A and B are shown apart, each in its own frame.
Chain A
Amino acid sequence: EVQLVESGGGLVQPGRSLKLSCAASGFTFSNYGMAWVRQAPTKGLEWVATISYDGSSTYYRDSVKGRFTISRDNAKSTLYLQMDSLRSEDTATYYCARGATGDYWGQGVMVTVSS
């Protein structure tokens, strides 16, 4: 059974950093690209970033480019999202998803950016 379990969320002040993790199991992690998708409270889904199966290629939405870094450790079957210079508009539930377009999703982790 495919499982994706996010962690690392919480309350953080504007301008600070946070690193999310996504532990994957039930499939061969190193064979799949992975993505982060977020959802602000009561809002729709927003694609954030994608990483290729081997980590050699990454893609970001413009609003997070230069502030967020997606990475992976295939030996640990874990996906990461380093979030720097956080803004209030980054407040959202962050989902880890298998594949560039999400055939399986984690349960999500809440990130609140507020002073």
Chain B
Amino acid sequence: DIQMTQSPSSLPASLGDRVTITCRASQDIGNYLRWFQQKPGKSPRLMIYGATNLANGVPSRFSGSRSGSDYSLTINSLESEDMAIYYCLQHNEYPYTFGAGTKLELK
């Protein structure tokens, strides 16, 4: 199975900060990488697909990038509504696998 190593597990940040979350794939997954946001008690929401493409309705302060086997989600100018847990997902091959999640919280 492809392992997705996500870091950090917890990320304290202040409003207005620029933050980056990273997932490293254990095997080549091309651009078959998605990012999801999950708020407490809510369903996950798709934020980024194809590693770099913004999903419908997602604010432009969110962006995705790739460098080799490292995939990053960056949020510019953090807002209070961005506090959530973020997960990456590889869908290059079955079984699809998620990263362990990054909890973004106010410092």
**With an 8 A cutoff between CB atoms, is A102 at the interface?**
yes
A47-B98 in contact given A100-B91, A103-B49 (Cβ < 8 Å): yes
Min CB–CB distance A54 → chain B (angstroms): 18
Q: Which residues of A contact B46 (CB under 8 A)?
A: 102-104
Number of A-B contacts (CB under 8 A): 50
**With an 8 A cutoff between CB atoms, is A61 at the interface?**
yes
Count residues of B near A (Cβ-Cβ below 8 Å): 20
Query: In the docked arrangement, what's the CA distance between A68 and B46, Å?
Result: 26
Nearest chain B residue, comparing its CB with the CB of A46: B98
Query: Would you call B55 and A103 a contact (CB within 8 A)?
Result: yes
**Interface size bucket, A side?**
20 to 34
A44-B34 in contact given A59-B94, A105-B44, A106-B43 (Cβ < 8 Å): no
Query: Would you call B45 and A47 a contact (CB within 8 A)?
Result: no
Query: Would you call B94 and A101 a contact (CB within 8 A)?
Result: no
Query: In the docked arrangement, what's the CA distance between A107 and B44, Å?
Result: 9
Q: Which of these, A47, A62, A101, A107, contacts B43 with CB under 8 Å?
A: A107
Min CB–CB distance A98 → chain B (angstroms): 10
Can you list, as one digit per residue, whether each of A26-57 has a CB less than 8 Å from chain B (1) or not (0)?
00000000000100000011110010000000
Query: In the docked arrangement, what's the CA distance between A108 and B98, Å?
Result: 18
Nearest chain B residue, comparing its CB with the CB of A45: B98
Q: Which residues of A contact B36 (CB under 8 A)?
A: 45, 102
Query: Would you call A47 and B44 a contact (CB within 8 A)?
Result: no
Nearest chain B residue, comparing its CB with the CB of A47: B96
Query: In the docked arrangement, what's the CA distance between A62 and B45, Å?
Result: 26
Min CB–CB distance B38 → chain A (angstroms): 8
B residues contacting A by CB (< 8 A) are 34, 36, 38, 43-46, 49, 55, 87, 89, 91, 94-101
